[in-house]
Amino acid sequence: MKDLRPALVQAQQGHLYRRRRVLDSPQQPRLVVEGRPLLSFCSNDYLGLAADPRVSKAFHRGLEHWGSGSGSAHLVSGHSRAHHALEEELADFTGRERALLFSSGYLANLAVVTSLCGRGDTVIQDKLDHASLIDAARLSGAGLKRYAHNDMAAARQRLAAARGEVLLAVDGVFSMDGDLAPLPELADLASQHGAWLMVDDAHGLGVLGAGGRGSLAHFGLDADHAPVLMGTLGKAFGTAGAFVAGSEALIETLIQKARSYIFTTALPAALAEATRASLEILRAEEWRRERLASLVARFRRGAAEMGFKLSASATPVQPLIAGRAQTALAWSRLLEEQGILVTAIRPPTVPKGSARLRITFSAAHEDRDLDQLLAALESLKP
């Protein structure tokens, strides 16, 4: 039996060891972490809905009606009227024929890739795609071909050399850099080569585009341009789970073939009711996206004036690149000493040499919160 301890010691010595923090408060900008109050700038709760009272009330009503568990997989006896209604509302929200719920974005990506591709086929991905897309491609048995981040010439070469069924899978918003994929160009390439275009819009839905419809809407694209859309519910929606939206044929194919759908217990129906409430708020309250844009613009101005090098991101994800993991950890500690929580992101989550602080914003942040962050960043000035 292999001794696991040396690898753990090596991770600690390389400043790559990961530790969990225990929260004593709801998910919101001002947290209590292990008994200490901290101002958080590292959550994906972009619209501030994770602790919204209206969403919580819908969850409670769902618990009273449906109970706490679904009891089984969707295809056995776990698919409730609440699940069905949420799927229909998500399909309408994304402008697609159908939507299918999953228990996580990881499972949703695994379902799509393994259902559409197998041995003899090709999956093409940006090198900064979500880990779940990479793992899904490997598990599918298809050939995985990756191209340098947002390099359209390299993507074109990969498509030209692809064999079998071809799936071009890309993040709409890249989770660690905050920049957008060039979706119009990718849609054209996919169309030219007869490939599926799949957009993982975990960090775009709710945040970008008219009504929060995501990165595709931001570029004026629809289902004809990107037949497969994956979205998560644990970020801007403020709940948990994920969905895939697409054509009737796509969704029925996933229901019949996707092992991560067929063999997974459905999310609690009460959670579906909570998500229906958050979707209604997300669609109606444009001020949340306007607030985010205002916070991001002001942060970028302030950070640039301090001399920080910023990525090409206009989204709530604003990385400050430290380079070494040790530096990123030191920056995180300095901010925490001033009452601010920003987690250091290190390899293998990001490429070696690009450890960073991943600063994220929420519509629930107040002006005084941003003031406090900018004042604290003075201690990290390059």
User: Tens place of pLDDT for every residue, the chain, 382 residues?
Assistant: 999 999 988 988 888 888 899 999 999 999 999 999 999 999 999 999 999 999 999 999 999 999 999 999 999 999 999 999 999 999 999 999 999 999 999 999 999 999 999 999 999 999 999 999 999 999 999 999 999 999 999 999 999 999 999 999 999 999 999 999 999 999 999 999 999 999 999 999 999 999 999 999 999 999 999 999 999 999 999 999 999 999 999 999 999 999 999 999 999 999 999 999 999 999 999 999 999 999 999 999 999 999 988 888 999 999 999 889 999 999 999 999 999 999 998 899 898 998 989 999 999 999 999 999 999 999 887 6
What is the domain-level CATH number for residue 208?
3.40.640.10
Query: Domain of 270?
Result: 53-284
The rounded distance, in Å, linking the Cα atoms of 340 and 147 is 36
pLDDT of residue 15: 82
147 known ligand binder? no
- 232 has binding-site annotation: yes
Beta carbons within 8 Å of 352's beta carbon, 6+ residues apart:
none
Domain C-terminal end among 284, 309, 331: 284
Q: Which residues does 256 contact at the CB level (< 8 Å), separation at least 6?
A: none
Instruction: Find out whether 357 and 38 touch, Cβ atoms under 8 Å.
Output: no
Number of compact structural domains in the chain: 2
Q: 31 in a domain, yes or no?
A: yes
Cis peptide before 348 (omega within 30 of 0): yes
Identified catalytic residue from 74, 83, 145, 203? 203
Answer with the one of 233, 268, 284 that is the final residue of a domain: 284
Contact 243, 213 (CB under 8 A): no
Cα separations in angstroms, 356 against 293, 310, 323, 340, 342: 22, 11, 7, 15, 10
Contacts of 144 (CB under 8 A, 6+ apart): 123, 125, 134, 137, 138
CATH of the domain at 319: 3.90.1150.10
Q: CA 53, 54, 59, 61: dihedral to nearest 10 degrees?
A: 110
Residue 4 lies in a domain: no
N-terminal to C-terminal alpha carbon distance within the chain: 47
Query: How far is residue 294 CA from its own chain's centroid?
Result: 21
Same domain, 97 and 229: yes
Predicted TM-score (pTM) of this structure: 0.95
Same domain, 223 and 364: no
Answer yes or no: do 43 and 61 share one domain: no
**Do residues 169 and 20 share a domain?**
no
In a domain, 1, yes or no: no
Catalytic position from the list 83, 145, 218, 235: 235
Do 205 and 311 lie in a common domain?
no
56 catalytic? Reply is no
Residue 7 lies in a domain: no
Tokens of 37: 């109050």
- In a shared domain, residues 187 and 304: no
Please tell me whether residues 275 and 306 are part of one structural domain.
no
In this structure, are 339 and 245 located in the same domain? no
Asked if residue 18 belongs to a known ligand binding site, the reply is: yes
Closest CA relative to residue 43, chosen from 68, 64, 26: 26
**Which of the residues 40, 104, 175, 215 is marked catalytic?**
175
Task: Give the span between the Cα atoms of 214 and 201, in whole angstroms.
Answer: 7
pLDDT at 161: 97
Same structural domain for residues 78 and 201? yes
Question: Is residue 58 within 8 Å of residue 239, measured between CB atoms?
Answer: no
Does the annotation place 43 within a ligand binding site?
no
Tell whether 153 and 28 lie within a shared domain: no
Q: Do residue 219 and residue 103 come from a single domain?
A: yes
Which tokens is 12 given? Answer: 């600690």
> 175 a known binding residue?
yes
Half-sphere exposure (Cβ direction) of 359: Cα atoms closer than 13 Å: 29
Q: DSSP code of 75?
A: I
* pLDDT of amino acid 310: 87
Contacts 24+ apart (CB under 8 A), 82-89: 82/269, 82/270, 82/272, 82/273, 82/276, 83/266, 83/267, 83/269, 83/272, 85/272, 85/276, 86/272, 86/273, 86/275, 86/276, 86/279, 87/243, 89/276, 89/279
Active site residue 257: no
46 annotated as ligand-binding: no
Q: Do 269 and 322 fall within a single domain?
A: no
